[in-house]
Structure 1
Amino acid sequence: MTVDFSSGATERDGVSLVTVILRNDGETRRRVRVANALDAPVLPPRPDGIVADGWDEDGYEGAVGAGETLALGYACRAAARREPCVLARDDPTGEESPKRSVADAVRDLGDPRPPAAGVPLGDGAQTGIPTPVATWFDGVEARVAAGTLTAANERTLAAVRGRLHRLDRREA
């Protein structure tokens, strides 16, 4: 028994939106490969900015469980055609999990940014000076105290003094 495959495409403003339905009425899990037949690379789904599992620029590879239906969709910057993709592979497979890539691991980790509530405000919260700016000034003060200020440091300080002076004149 093979997977039942159907696909279609709709074009709008030079971009084709492709839909694919894979139905496995059999009793065995099937490994499938859907290959793009349009004249441009696949623009796969990107939840949270990371390419979804199984996708590459040529199409999709994954599994359809026994008795299951899998719906897929992708975009492509190419003219639509009657058959936008083909079922390039349809093989029975065991229940072993597919080989995972680094991209799979990154996708599983999710958003790497800490929640805003979990980021300490540092000394800048008390002084009104943002923490990165206060850290930079601390470094400059340490170089002045040690006598290791460079010509580049001097130019940067002169630029900061000039900018602060212009801001002070605006407030007056």
Structure 2
Amino acid sequence: MSLAVCLLFDPEGDRVIREIWTRLEGEGVPTLLTHTHGRHLPHLSYAVAVHWELAAVREWIAALPDAGGFSVEFHGMLAFSRGRTALAASVTAEVARRQEVVAAALQDAGADLHRHYARGAWVPHVSLATRAKEAQLPLVARAVSDALPLTVRVASAALIDSGTGQRWPLAGIP
């Protein structure tokens, strides 16, 4: 599958996003709550590697300075191909710069990045539905609009294998 550098939220932010997932699941819209191994966490991915060597990635990411937590605001939703929907994250220029540093570190570690996480191509988002049908998009839009505006706090970071849910917490937030 893939290995992501994920930003994880404080308990309140985690709870609110899980509530959106639960509401959507109740409407029959598949979310990360039940996707694949069912161990997904609400998160914002800085970068996603499709090919990697774990030890090298861990070494390069661990060498990055701890830049600390920050708030992320959401004011809308995104609809991607194949029925994927997400909360659209509004980030500062500083957070975008941090993402580019993380993406460069993964590349320096020999990892191949997914094209949507390459420097200059990042679309910051928090995944909601994994396979929403066209007729279900209004349900997603209603669930999202009922939760907006939303501000969550990034409280920690981890490397997460999307195929297994295995995670390696990071000492700081790059």
TM-score if structure 1 supplies the norm length?
0.23
Return the structure number with greater relative CO, CA threshold 8 A, min gap 6. Answer: 2
TM-score if structure 2 supplies the norm length?
0.23
